[in-house]
Structure 1
Amino acid sequence: MIIQGTEALTSLIHIISESLLTPVVIILVIFVVLSILCLGGVINEKISRKPIMSEEFEKLVRDISFSNSPSEIENFVNDSSLFDWQKDILVKIARNHDIGSKARQALASELISNAETILIKSTNKTDILVRLGPIFGLLGTLIPLGPGLAALGSGDITTLAESLTIAFDTTVTGLAVGGIGYLISKFRKQWYESDLIDVETLAEVELESLNNQSD
């Protein structure tokens, strides 16, 4: 009875394993399409991306620091080459010049934190590709090996060759998806980290300037 029960469970696991091959291949194809779309998106972003230059950034720091009013800070920010989301944060801080200094600090922290969350979400898709691409590639490698080894035992070289071909193809596909996702995430995180540092620096300068104006 124990042997029969074990054989039944083994047969069930074998059926489940083989039935997973088609979904795994479909998911890998979807991952390939997503990775190509993400790669095109990051290339387009790189071409159109124009971060503020260091000379202009230094000038903006000095302009904000020596400004005489919140409206003057807004003008300096709006006339700069900052990204729109960076301008929105700094302008909102300037427009809340009439609240207390601690409240302004809290507002600035919240605005920057929200922006960071949005930027992180934009890299979640490629982070998923980095993790799941190789996993599904490995699944696509292991699942066909069972029938392939069984075919080898019976001398069916053709089935073995087909199983090995599927195994190698899914491995390469999974690794390629993971590699593309890793490169995209790496570049975007570097860009966004630099952007956040810029806006944090300018926000600190702006808060100090507003505090001086209110004294």
Structure 2
Amino acid sequence: MRLRKTSGHHGCMVTFSFIKPPARGSLRRRRMADALRRLTAALCVGLAVLFGLEAVLAVVETEPMVVAARSIRRGDIILAADVQLADMPVSAIGPSWACNIEDVVGKVAQIDIEAADPISTHMARDAPVAPTGTTVIEVRLASSVDDVLAGDQVRLVSAVGCEGADCTLAENATVMNVDKPDTTGALGSNDRLVSFAMPPEAAAKVMELQQAGAIMAVVR
């Protein structure tokens, strides 16, 4: 649409023009629509690349986590030499995984842990402390120690030299350390030296009767 205006003396003409949108179905309109579609597609591709990069970065981003430097047996007290820090993907680290060596050193392994395995706080518990008024002695056990862990409370009984209730040498002996090999060979090759904390009178009975025969630990 145009508006023409002419002045009286100079014959000047002023023209106003308004741009009309392209007619529906016209070539220009089709080209504009095609350009808009391409722009939208480019934006979508850019967003997809951005989100993909964020996902990749989340996977490859790492943090130090405690892993076993060598095999740790169930019942062992974890030493500083048993563990080390290794970089693990952040996405693989949960709230229960240990990120500081101090979180596991000195604790008792609850399961067998293989070398390079990550260690969680559920795999280890605090090492026991001998209760007040007790003494710690090593006892050669004839019974299996597979189900006994440091910190457990057990009943120690003798297989010889007593009858009935007298066979109980210690009612509540605290396991301090498990499965130390018996290098004395005093009993059988299957016997193991295990450290227990118990009252002094119970310790005296154990030391007297373990020379006479087998002592067994009854797990509660």
How would you bin the TM-score normalised by the shorter chain?
under 0.3
Bigger proportion of residues as helix? 1
| TM-score normalised by the chain length of structure 2 | 0.22
Which structure has more strand as a fraction of its residues?
2
Considering only CA atoms, is the larger Rg found in Structure 1 or Structure 2?
2
- With normalisation by structure 1, the TM-score equals 0.23
